[in-house]
């Protein structure tokens, strides 16, 4: 189901989605090709993790294996981001854009998955679908993103590239759960967009490895 990211009654911050320099050959060709090659190589890892979690979930994380959430992607369009479920299932999402993370809903196994960022692994399917990149601005929950577009300068422009499984703001700033934190996140996201290059992606990749093996996720 498609969502309208630009409702006519919403007073969005005035800005152009494409107020940035033209993207390089790397951004247009090299990066997408790299995304596909690495994602295909990770499919066996995803399969193994899925089987292991299917065995463990009935004991430590009762409920569905996967969780699909509408998030804001490139050009501000909605897509379903796929994750290994880490929280107790809820009938509907009630957390607002400025509410803290619902820590009480995270299961013991889910806590481990989040710390090591394993919960994000199924998003390689989103990469293969062309909805995400391995590295880019992290996509926000779609309905929270609609609010940020109204109040955070630059928020719309961060969606001029595909969102990433990992990103500069995620590795250098960490998880944010408020509008104030989103201001800082967007500054880093726009720095990434404006300096998109193999060197920038290599830096984020390295920082991601440090986060994963240091169990610094949230």
* pLDDT at residue 7, rounded to an integer: 41
Q: Which two tokens stand for residue 107?
A: 């299961």
Tell me if 3 is assigned to some domain: no
Residue 4 included in any domain: no
Residue 112 lies in a domain: yes
Residue of 207, 201, 119, 208 lying closest to 161 (CA atoms): 201
Closest by CA to 160, choosing from 77, 97, 82, 80, is 77
C-alpha closest to that of 190 among 213, 205, 173, 212 = 173
Q: Which two tokens stand for residue 172?
A: 């250098």
Task: Provide the mean pLDDT of the chain.
Answer: 87
Summarize pLDDT for 146-205 with one digit per residue, the tens. 999 999 999 999 999 999 999 999 999 988 878 888 999 999 999 999 999 999 999 999
Q: How far is CA 151 from each of CA 29, 36, 171, 185, 195, rounded to the nearest angstrom?
A: 33, 35, 24, 14, 24
Per-residue confidence at 103, pLDDT binned at 50, 70, 90?
confident
Is 53 part of a structural domain of the chain?
Answer: yes
Write out pLDDT tens, residues 32-77. Answer: 999 999 999 999 999 999 999 999 999 999 999 999 999 999 999 9
By residue range, what is the domain housing residue 134?
25-213
- pLDDT of 11 reads 44
CB 176 within 8 A of CB 182: yes
Residue 91 has pLDDT above 80, yes or no: no
Residue 130 has pLDDT above 70, yes or no: yes
Residue 216: what pLDDT?
62
133-135 vs 164-166, strand pairing mode: parallel
Domain-located, residue 155: yes
pLDDT tens, residue by residue, 1-41:
444 443 434 444 445 555 545 578 899 999 999 999 999 99
Evaluate whether residue 17 is within a structural domain: no
> How far is residue 165's CA from residue 105's CA, in Å, rounded to a whole number?
22
Three-state DSSP class for residue 28:
helix
> Is 94 inside any structural domain?
yes
Which of 118, 92, 116, 87 is closest to 103 using CA atoms? Answer: 87
Domain count, the chain: 1
Partners of 87 in beta bridges: 106
Is 2 inside a domain boundary? no
């Amino acid at each position: 189901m498609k969502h309208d990211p630009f409702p006519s009654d919403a007073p969005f911050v005035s800005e152009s989605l494409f107020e940035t320099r033209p993207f390089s050959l790397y951004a247009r060709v090299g990066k997408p090709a790299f995304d596909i090659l690495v994602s295909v190589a990770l499919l066996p890892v995803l399969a193994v993790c899925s089987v292991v979690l299917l065995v463990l979930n009935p004991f430590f994380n009762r409920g569905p294996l996967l969780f699909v959430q509408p998030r804001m992607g490139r050009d501000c369009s909605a897509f379903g981001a796929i994750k290994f479920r880490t929280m107790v299932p809820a009938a509907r999402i009630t957390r607002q854009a400025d509410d803290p993370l619902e820590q009480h809903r995270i299961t013991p196994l889910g806590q481990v998955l989040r710390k090591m960022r394993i919960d994000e692994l199924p998003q390689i399917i989103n990469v293969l679908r062309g909805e995400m990149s391995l590295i880019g601005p992290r996509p926000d929950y779609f309905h929270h993103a609609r609010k940020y577009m109204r109040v955070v300068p630059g928020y719309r422009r961060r969606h001029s590239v595909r969102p990433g499984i990992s990103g500069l703001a995620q590795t250098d700033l960490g998880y944010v759960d408020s509008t104030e934190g989103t201001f800082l996140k967007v500054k880093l996201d726009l720095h990434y967009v404006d300096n998109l290059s193999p060197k920038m992606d290599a830096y984020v990749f390295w920082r991601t490895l440090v986060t994963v093996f240091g169990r610094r996720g949230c």
